[in-house]
Structure 1
């Protein structure tokens, strides 16, 4: 969803006609966040309908915060050279994969369970939507890998490969790297992260399986990882996959950014001083974001921080304490207890759409529907998992109520309009509230990547907090 052009700075008394005039003159894209108080104090964003739809062209964006940042690209968008030869996935496929990931998360932390699972590779979890480019080996081979805050394992496809899915780049060849080495069965890393059945010679084996039946198996290894021309991580541990299958969208592998000791961010701490990192996911798949390491040092001046809290998973996820939501400047009619689940709430780069406990979602839906009804928008049929959709045919612009997430320490995070309304089909001109309910009050809540768009999200791991900075990227 296209970048924000400018904000309407008119006084509260400005009329809709003036805003529509602005819409007519503006270039295609988001027209601005126009706050208004119409007696009831409702605040809204004025957005061009065309900007809600996917673009076929890659749009240049502002530079990353520093020269050490990695470029983040949506793997199905026009900025990605990894787009599937068959075209991007359909809306149904996107929803299906997102739901599979969610189901895997629910299985990983059973509802209402008060347990801590052992940290091992092989837990089923879906794949992410965004990728970065890194160099692996000596000399460095450029690879495109997905990154995922919901897991801690990292792997790439390697030669020889008995059964590999088709990827964009040639397979990584360990024999051509002067710094490659395997992890032995006797090493403590094998006991912690490898296969429990280490019987294939002296090399430690690993296996990772995902909710959609994708999988990778191979050898646990180490090599030099180049993140930027000036930054390398020596002895980076990863899985060298020799038998892989799945719908990975032609990426060369996946790097985990979870809290586990094997994650990229944890291993990069030897270079950056801590396991922190930050990223900004762009407003649409046709623009570019960034990923940088170094924790609080990378935080923008406008970042607001909320505490990480304890969770029940195997040590990979980042838990937050979401306690409320405001729509159009008003708190929804749900107590903070409605946001509490037995399994907690995580922030996740790999799940697309946020999932809320049913009571909290119902209150959000009611508030959003009331705000949209004030402007006469016609409802459209539901499109599961979305049940609050609108027919925007005939509209050049749409007024979207502001949505603000509120955390336990009163941190308030305003979402970009691209994280509030989601559209996918130019023919239908339908757009839906980009949240969905869990089917049970006790299930894990998730703050997904669509709601994180354009925010600089800072994982200050050392101080156990997550920060959000507005206008982090386009």
Structure 2
């Protein structure tokens, strides 16, 4: 997690108006679609998929009830900056990056804004008999944990009952002197401890949130029928921070303790997801190798020694409004870049962001500007407009792989009078670039650790 912020309720899907099949360099959108829908889509994801949903969108009311996050846009963006800053601090400068080289289960996934650590959430079954819990899934975290009774220190408010391991016949604490306990050190960044012979974990995230508790083995059930026995998880009895109403965190990083590594024999170290363009729609999280769509382009998965759990890629270019930006290759090679499901707003090296911002502003001179919003410095007032034209933005990666940012990921809309470019620049040229989840929407993003590649397929949620 390292303090993954949430996908904002106001980053909404925009309706694209198609004129005669024109493949233009701009999105033409109706301003009315900047207002989020109040209804949850009735569409269901494929069998064996975990549903992904937005915790403050209408789909979330099914899980989280009527309770909503009271976070303002400024608070949300501040949390997102905490997440990005924690990644910057963890990465040592000038460390070379090198390439690394069952049956799938697909889990419905929904966007999770209320969670200060991940933005998108899925529902799992924990224990025997299983108890359903809704957790954030995060590619930037390794340890999976849920809140547990008894809360020895404190537990934050979550929707639904806190899991009580005393009522599960499959729960078992891991002993202090086991090799599994030693695996926690690289995963959490903190030494594991011991209490009455049982292994204790402690994980502190970049925004000051934390979880402390017992390291244990437990059964996880996916989609009601896929049973994973003996999964090592954290049972948090002392938890505090920006987790919203979720029950905990699902770690999808690359360390040995992550769910990806623990299920390697079953799912072959492959998973994918698609994040919905609209909070009223569902996405999915899929464990296993079968792709949802046929046309997927793959770019090499790279590794950085200072952030070994993260998924690095090489950006080779950015296009705005059909024009490739003039950015030296050294700008991207110096910083490196990661795909991260737990950061919302994409962060770019300062030179790359400056070039993007200039090109974007040059193509929107017909609209009045609006005040900056926290880290977002390019904002517009669309009051009085029925239709607006927004330049398309594309990222190009090594291997001739492109990500054409969905129109809903180009703007962060606080209100009609303040619609901002949903990108930000790092201050330091060597700070890692982050492809945030707002810009990943509608793509099937495939993490194939066995192959050493990240795949991108457009139209992945359909």
The aligned runs of 1:209-248 (5 Å cut-off) are: 209-248=204-243
What residue in structure 2 maps to residue 191 of structure 1?
Answer: 182
2:342/2:436 contact within 8 Å kept: yes
What residue in structure 1 maps to residue 358 of structure 2?
Answer: 366
Relative distance call for 1:379 and 1:140 in structure 2 (3 A) is same
CA shift, 1:7, in A, is: 6.1
Q: Which has the higher contact order (CA 8 A, sep 6+)?
A: 2
CA RMSD of aligned residues (A): 2.2
Pairing 1:278–2:272 present: yes
The aligned runs of 1:423-442 (5 Å cut-off) are: 423-426=413-416, 429-442=417-430
Distance 2:413 2:12 in 1: 12
Relative distance call for 1:83 and 1:103 in structure 2 (3 A) is farther
The SS at the match of 2:146 is strand
Pairing 1:458–2:446 present: yes
Pairing 1:381–2:371 present: yes
The aligned runs of 1:114-125 (5 Å cut-off) are: none
CA shift, 1:313, in A, is: 2.9
Unmatched 5+ residue regions in structure 2?
Answer: 1-10, 99-114
The SS at the match of 1:463 is coil
What residue in structure 2 maps to residue 293 of structure 1?
Answer: 287
Pairing 1:68–2:68 present: no
Relative distance call for 1:308 and 1:126 in structure 2 (3 A) is farther
The aligned runs of 1:97-116 (5 Å cut-off) are: 97-112=79-94
What residue in structure 1 maps to residue 308 of structure 2?
Answer: 315
What residue in structure 2 maps to residue 40 of structure 1?
Answer: none
Relative distance call for 1:246 and 1:4 in structure 2 (3 A) is closer
2:140/2:310 contact within 8 Å kept: yes
Aligned length: 429
Larger fraction in strand: 2
Greater Rg by CA: 1
Relative distance call for 1:239 and 1:395 in structure 2 (3 A) is same
CA shift, 1:271, in A, is: 2.5
Distance 1:298 1:275 in 2: 14
Distance 2:291 2:361 in 1: 38
Relative distance call for 1:115 and 1:311 in structure 2 (3 A) is closer
CA shift, 1:446, in A, is: 0.2
Q: How does the TM-score come out when normalised to structure 2?
A: 0.88
What residue in structure 2 maps to residue 391 of structure 1?
Answer: 381
Q: How does the TM-score come out when normalised to structure 1?
A: 0.86
